[in-house]
Structure 1
């Protein structure tokens, strides 16, 4: 009986809460601090971050769909190897597809596409959410987690690219196809660049500022409430 109640409660997870967790409260990078290796390695430009983010998003959504669909058939004893096999199969398909249709981007991202298999966030969501919920919430959770991860990748890449070279989405038409050429923007003409931001140390610096900004935004409501309480308590 208790198991049935827990199952029902999990399946009634509010959609808004799933979206907020994926985009902000339980964001793969900002809250869980996962996938930092590819995050710091490929975000020299916003274009690279967008490419890896979209690839990860496809894997997250598809893995949520498959794991939730098969949850009644997978026994607890073998669930982790089965989840890894599902994720590895999806990553292989994404890798082959990118090599066929986005070959230039595939060459730039290189080893980090196969390494999506080792992304703990994908396996973690398969274990903690998709395997315990129905298909629709599982797919939506994968979508929100993937979108949240992609937004951080693009934001970090944009910060580093803007400061490092004065551009945004450089070579988007070459890496993502001619249709994405409209993304290419040169914000600072004749900019000599700031090499540190494009190199790995720049990734750590940009990530630190991004995390600090998120923590500050989370604390703003409490700061405002304290200020209001203090103003109401003051005699004047």
Structure 2
């Protein structure tokens, strides 16, 4: 697999949200707006990229018996950096995302990539994988957040798309499940149509 394939698999083929159904806690919890999705996605991408690099770099020094706790410490270090930077430079977004930022530490996407991929691959390959998976995760959160924001409040990134009230359901947790379900349905249908054409 070349590096482009390594990067792009996280965008569509192995998208964490729409295909692998990973990271559902932040996916459903913070995507009330596209901006929240973007903020959470970028934070997760940074943590994923850096933790993949560090796990790959130190894989030969980490004893097998303590590898998972070691990965958690590495991931927690980068989550702390993200928290401090967000608190200092984007406090409003930090408040919106709240508890979901510290929960990146135990996000199954981040831990899974550290365990299943970065611990077995070279440094550059691990970094590209982290960047690709994080970019795919970010795109998924922005799409889901955008759909929910448009339908729920008639805005996108805070800009009015149509006047009046939206459908309140899409701002609430059940709306997250509905929107995600329909997006997965659409993506699976598109993939099937593409496969049938081939």
Question: What's the TM-score once normalised by structure 1's chain length?
Answer: 0.81
Q: What TM-score comes out, normalization by structure 2 length? A: 0.96
Alignment of 1:65-104 (within 5 A): 65-104=53-92
Moved over 3 A (4+): none
Counterpart of 1:144 in structure 2 is 132
Question: Could you say which structure has the greater relative contact order, defined with CA pairs below 8 angstroms and 6 or more residues apart?
Answer: 2
**Corresponding residue for residue 200 of structure 1:** 173
Structure 1 range deviating more: 214-223 or 116-125: 214-223
Match among 24, 31, 35 for residue 36 of structure 1: 24
Q: CA RMSD in A?
A: 1.1
How many residues align? The count is 198
Structure 2: distance between partners of 1:48 and 1:222: 33
Q: Deviations over 1:44-84 (max 9, x none)?
A: 11011101000000000000111111112112221111111
Aligned residue in 1 for 2:152: 164
The equivalent position to 1:55 in structure 2, one of 43, 53, 73, is: 43
Q: Which moved more, 1:111-120 or 1:22-31?
A: 22-31
User: Distance between the aligned counterparts of 2:9 and 2:60, measured in 1?
Assistant: 26
| Aligned counterpart in structure 2 of residue 21 of structure 1, from 2, 5, 9 | 9
C-alpha distance in 1, partners of 2:171/2:194? Answer: 34
Describe the superposition over 1:146-177 as per-residue Cα deviations: whole angstroms up to 9, x where unpaired: 0000000000000011111111111xxxxxxx
Report the secondary structure of 2:111's partner residue. Answer: helix
Structure 2 CA distance, aligned partners of 1:214 and 1:69? 35
In structure 1, runs of 5+ residues without a counterpart are: 1-12, 171-184, 226-236
